[in-house]
Structure 1
């Protein structure tokens, strides 16, 4: 029996008997399975047939992904086995930043295909940032007319029309993936100044912004000009402006109408030049606007500085695995107000980081380069003191695209490290260790190659 299943199933029992032929067709059954949850499944393989049973179509889909792995790893026939499997967390995510560099619909669809191999079920699209605005807002047409035509390095940028966004949503749904759109406010909004300059403050060239520019050799922003570098923390909407309130309401309401999923991400991070009281008041109002659409607001952990967030707001932690409390403390606000937390520790599953210092692409600000072992060497229940169990909604790997310009770049940085995030999100706590994971990860090589994934063949992994 192959040891190569990833994420690791809840239970695998090897059975004596002849193999199931490689050209065999499985039987799919929808029927009640007690204790398996909405996404769980059972897979039974015998010489005379393979049967996948689940409570939902999603469970059947995940069972099929497991059977595909077995088929690739046992090309001469699958040994008899019984698998019972259910995910640890309901939210298993991947974030693609389409603002720093824009990616067309076809690339996003390929990313969704890749995600399905790992049983990931939420694609978080970071649609706006200082470099560009990537979603059509018909009530605010200047956003795409003036703010979408730039990106890091000076490329042409781009945006998704309503129809293109719906195409992405529909394609994702066929793979049981929910789209989580993010429009980042009040910071990361320099691009808005190209369309509606009256809504945006002049760049805040505070010491942290100057330090980034000098240390990384990056250009500083100029108000009214497209920003094609990637210093962060300098931009902000005018948080006390009534016109900004109307703008945010227009954007959130229109985006909610395009989004069948339950979540709207409103950002709320890295406002280095915005006074704390102005920031906390603004994010509470923006989250309330999102909640008024019937969606659940999601925000980066800095939003937890506000104690007035709507009840049930979701927080996304992007601190470090050795967090000193600077990120963990505000994250508690979300839980205290009846919400949950998505975990994206930057030094583990920010997959835009370099594997090694000499790599041609990637960043390294979060505790230096991130090896595959680094991406696996953490535990959700102990990441943030006092937040565990049901307080955690799930896990999300994130790909920021300052240095990423193509699908080949996406593949190389994402794979294999996204597999570590997928296992943390799906498999039960303590079920595996690094040695088991690296062996099972190596067994994914043939399947990933067959899918055209240009993954990094890390020397840490015994690739098949």
Structure 2
């Protein structure tokens, strides 16, 4: 009750402030009737009034500002590329708004390089958060009036989702912040007035030979009879039987499944509305008695006959997948399934989906629904990105600050109570906040295991670690204030004497990096890994893979797109390179470590830390450590790490050399999982339309057909089917022997997926195309042959007609049979898979 009264009291205070603001707008009771930001209003009431009446809109004037005279290079733009636009501040109320005494906080996923208005001071706070402060007395906005604030941003703005919502105001520096009512929306079209059309989009619309064949195939879809026998994902082989079986429901008799695994199948049956006359489905594990090519984990033989349905499997996973194939063939609500015998087994051991819950949190119910679909379509690895700069999403007993501070956002410039708002979250966690409690995570692991999905936790280190670093600094300050200096330093993650000047990929400073030279770093890693491993054991699914992360521990201003201030290259931005440091470049702790000879340079610190963490992983009984490819770039190979195997998640695009990268990683002995951005990043737009959500640095359009067309075992082949991110041809020639691939993985990064509904729209139904390629090798995928060259519009080795016909078959089944099932599950889906 005490907590309830406290919350109610806080709500009353906010309501009182809001009511006061409204009264002030309608009357002269609060001071000057012409100025709703009058100084005799309380700061909270002034902020509330501004939040009610100030509207911010955005117009982008030019995406290649250099061509119109802007010196992007002198502004320090990467590759001398910048755009011009303007913020339009408009008074929508009936009373005047005066400048002075308040600050507007806005988000920008592009670096703001310049603001051109004498009435405003502009400051980068951290990450994507900027402060725009009007000079006192500089202007007054009357009712309906507006002021335009020109700005220059790095790169370009080509999608509405490039421009983030929930600008907010703070009066007198420390008052309660107020979100601008008109910008409190996830519909970017409500505040983005204009974005210039992109020449890249127009060029990429040019039809490729594969797209021409695809269009022809889609005009002559397969017959209903052909579709009825087609499962998703496709099976290895099948032999048609006589007649058909009416499936209204399913009565399972599965000796090899646990009760909870059987219950998971029954739950799927219920979701699909199979509540009618039940068909008896018998199953047994027969192991090596199956044909050799399906006698492996997940392999099965499914016999559907009028006399009954039977599953013979290699193991329990095969029993589960055999029933899921039957459910795939069964229409939602029940219906006729052709008699057939199917022999099937997975293409890859690793069939994954990655979900970033750190940038914007995903609710447990949404993750459960995703696991349901992964199990249904035979995906078996859920890679959870549990930490990043913008959030920490799992409770760790003994380290409460990780979730008390790292899992929420508010306007606290000291960041001792929370992280500052990011990614359009607003100062009150309207998006972005939340975490999995220990009980939530245990339940999630158990739920996934019942559906033969293994959860792979990732705690990203040493880069992308700001949420952890800031949280542990708050812990340090709290315990230091109590005089417990020993405990305070135990999990401190930075060197307090480090003065390195660095800007990260997403515009944070050195507090984005765990300092691998600090004593607290290994201690922290050991604590977190041990606690999460304990959760897996409690769930009955011991942890077998730990993902270290390891990506992007760098200063972007030291990249190839920049030059010194006296540089002469017109295609690079001018930066004072002498003022820039590599991560930990000015850390005394790291300088001492390098001087000791234990590591050669700061460049090798991430890989050194990865090796140290691998020892902790091994000590916790975890057999495999995984990392993003840049997390192991200074290692000699898997032998450098303490675990029995090392897995690499590879995120090169094909047009930037993925074929060579996978060849190198495979030859070194790493287990390699393809996470190709140009095919498998589901945070990229489906299509070229400006309102389509998503980042697009690796692909302007990734529809279901593009994902479906991926040939993972022969990456050069893909250069004949699709162009680069702008649709332009490029060529790849296979070099060296065929690489070994552990599997493939879809990615759902969350920077512009603020809500669970946006997440599901981006993931479904592309997830089904991912499952198709992860489970089944298509006939049109050419074998890898050393020295073969491929180029769009030049070579003609791939059977594009076969690809198109396979796509048309898949598309017909998805649209007519699988989308209704997704709808029954409650998932939000894009209505079309193909574009």
Q: 1:382 offset after TM fit, Å? A: 2.0
Whether the aligned pair in 1 keeps the contact of 2:504 and 2:553 (CA below 8 Å) is no
Structure 1, unpaired ranges of 5+: 213-219, 225-234
The answer to which of 69-78 and 365-374 deviates more is 69-78
How much is the aligned-residue C-alpha RMSD, in angstroms? 2.7
Equivalent residue number for residue 75 of structure 2:
none
**Structure 1 293/391 Cα, relative in aligned 2: closer, same or farther at 3 Å?**
farther
Whether the aligned pair in 2 keeps the contact of 1:317 and 1:343 (CA below 8 Å) is yes
- Structure 2 residue 729 is the aligned partner of structure 1 residue 435: no
Whether the aligned pair in 2 keeps the contact of 1:268 and 1:299 (CA below 8 Å) is yes
* Cα distance in structure 2, aligned partners of 1:39 and 1:390: 23
| TM-score normalised by structure 2 residue count | 0.50
* Cα distance in structure 1, aligned partners of 2:347 and 2:735: 19
Equivalent residue number for residue 641 of structure 2:
309
> 2:679 is matched with which residue: 334, 348, 353?
348
Whether the aligned pair in 1 keeps the contact of 2:811 and 2:833 (CA below 8 Å) is no
- Structure 2 residue 232 is the aligned partner of structure 1 residue 15: no
Equivalent residue number for residue 286 of structure 1:
613
Q: Aligned residue pairs: how many?
A: 440
The answer to which of 73-82 and 440-449 deviates more is 73-82
Whether the aligned pair in 1 keeps the contact of 2:667 and 2:739 (CA below 8 Å) is no
- Structure 2 residue 534 is the aligned partner of structure 1 residue 257: yes
The answer to which of 112-121 and 442-451 deviates more is 442-451
Whether the aligned pair in 2 keeps the contact of 1:381 and 1:387 (CA below 8 Å) is no
> 1:26 is matched with which residue: 265, 281, 305?
281
> 1:380 is matched with which residue: 702, 708, 712?
712
* Cα distance in structure 2, aligned partners of 1:127 and 1:207: 22
After superposition, the C-alpha distances for 1:327-385 in whole angstroms (9 at most, x for unaligned) are 954x5665455431111101101111111242342211113221222212221112386
* Cα distance in structure 2, aligned partners of 1:349 and 1:289: 31
After superposition, the C-alpha distances for 1:80-136 in whole angstroms (9 at most, x for unaligned) are 111111001111111111101112222211111121221111111110000111111
Counterparts of 1:58-457 in structure 2 under 5 Å? 58-72=317-331, 75-150=334-409, 152-154=423-425, 155=429, 157-197=433-473, 198-200=492-494, 206=502, 209=505, 220-221=507-508, 235-259=512-536, 260-273=542-555, 274=583, 275-295=602-622, 296-305=624-633, 306-307=635-636, 308-310=640-642, 312-324=645-657, 328-329=660-661, 335-336=666-667, 338-357=669-688, 358-383=690-715, 391-430=740-779, 433-443=803-813, 444-457=818-831
**Structure 1 412/49 Cα, relative in aligned 2: closer, same or farther at 3 Å?**
same
Q: 1:287 offset after TM fit, Å? A: 2.4
Higher relative contact order (CA 8 A, sep 6+): 1
Equivalent residue number for residue 588 of structure 2:
none
Q: 1:18 offset after TM fit, Å? A: 4.6
Larger Rg: 2
* Cα distance in structure 1, aligned partners of 2:666 and 2:533: 24
Equivalent residue number for residue 231 of structure 2:
5
After superposition, the C-alpha distances for 1:159-216 in whole angstroms (9 at most, x for unaligned) are 222211100011111111111100000001111222123413789765774xx6xxxx
Aligned to 2:513, the other structure's residue is in SS state coil
* Cα distance in structure 2, aligned partners of 1:379 and 1:27: 36
Aligned to 2:234, the other structure's residue is in SS state coil
* Cα distance in structure 2, aligned partners of 1:389 and 1:332: 7
- Structure 2 residue 832 is the aligned partner of structure 1 residue 458: yes
* Cα distance in structure 2, aligned partners of 1:349 and 1:316: 12
**Structure 1 175/433 Cα, relative in aligned 2: closer, same or farther at 3 Å?**
same
The answer to which of 91-100 and 18-27 deviates more is 18-27
Q: Which has the higher strand share?
A: 2
**Structure 1 351/341 Cα, relative in aligned 2: closer, same or farther at 3 Å?**
same
Whether the aligned pair in 2 keeps the contact of 1:373 and 1:434 (CA below 8 Å) is no
Structure 2, unpaired ranges of 5+: 1-224, 249-276, 410-421, 474-491, 537-541, 556-582, 584-601, 717-733, 781-801
Q: 1:270 offset after TM fit, Å? A: 0.9
* Cα distance in structure 1, aligned partners of 2:246 and 2:736: 44
Aligned to 1:148, the other structure's residue is in SS state coil
* Cα distance in structure 1, aligned partners of 2:401 and 2:707: 40
Whether the aligned pair in 2 keeps the contact of 1:4 and 1:442 (CA below 8 Å) is no
Whether the aligned pair in 2 keeps the contact of 1:69 and 1:447 (CA below 8 Å) is no
**Structure 1 53/439 Cα, relative in aligned 2: closer, same or farther at 3 Å?**
same
